Structure 1
């Protein structure tokens, strides 16, 4: 089976588990309600707090009914907890494909797979994926080991191709893959419910004020319910200019310095020229677009 076929089989298995768990949850919920009804029905004998009459001929039956009522209620609680357990398992199984193909998580998975692939390539050929010598003292692998490493490289390539297509599909649906070219010093990056001023743009990360400063007085305001943390504000906190690096594959938004100033002032946020897609230039010999009616 190819990796795509194995992944499809895993999704199908998750869907089957979701149906099976949902059925178990439904049966447990029905059992819980039946036990609750039994307890309530027995409890009608003690309506308005009818006490057990000690020494009366009804005492024995009343105590047996009381025990049956308590047992039924305990069973109802236990079955209710079991129903909740299977319901949560069903929800997790239903979310399997959405979890696996989450774009941010997929980008991190690709980065991890690429690092593992480089390690296999170094062991097989003694070079990295750019052809640079990794270790001149490394002994070449045996023929059998080399064949095994070649097979593993092919598997990595197949899986990476699959996840790359998953990211392309997410981009077609509007997901933004952030990278070094998208930021300049002074921009603001959104990460996990806060905005941070970018103090340095690195190859794979953006350097920002320390993330704990968002809760220690480094925030100068909020935009859309998200704290805005600036470098100047954090200099007055106990972090005193400490920084943190945010991977681009965990970024969820960007604002320019001008946009952030307008947002904090409650003014209309201007457009960022980087977000404006230029219209394609007409090809030679083509007719210009017709003016609007």
Structure 2
């Protein structure tokens, strides 16, 4: 489908989009809409509020944010992808200190199908700027993925300057050790997909822990998966050419944990 763009509830014009195109200062969240509802909607809304406070000094009231989102998907049925992006027209290179309630850009597009084929990951020494925020500065992420694909991998797994594994380009990674989920401890974005999994692990008989995973520890881990708001769980087939074990039954349990979070109406 052709993407549908709105800014503050009105169809986006070229003039209104100019500040978005000319500056990458902003933040966003992406979600999958199922008949007007979203799994983890409360988490997405909380993310947007925290990002707005951090970047613009003021947040969009939740009622207004929901209204913008409802306008974006009005009249649409089935599944769609929805990106909600925040920007402030008065913030420019000459006026970087401007404050205010940000404008809301919504983009509705075709649904993102979950990844399912085992991924081949290449570790790369990289860390996102302000990793706790899902911000617009994605040059480094795209470059990392291009580098990985040029080397016959599917994607990049980031390792920070301290040697700790953190996250991937657009996803979190989890490892499996003795039937337990192990999340990396490092500066990163704790994604909505990861949080949805955490919410449901107990229902499928799994628990988890978070700890530092350096390259030496990484070499000893035999099973891994990735997750984000579009992919509940996708197995990792190898890292840096080292084959990993895969357990389809475990992936099924993780997907069931994710699905235990009911969609929340916008």
TM-score w.r.t. the length of structure 2 is 0.27
Larger radius of gyration: 1
* Larger RCO, structure (CA 8 Å, separation 6 or more): 2
TM-score by length of 1: 0.26
Structure number having the greater helix percentage: 1
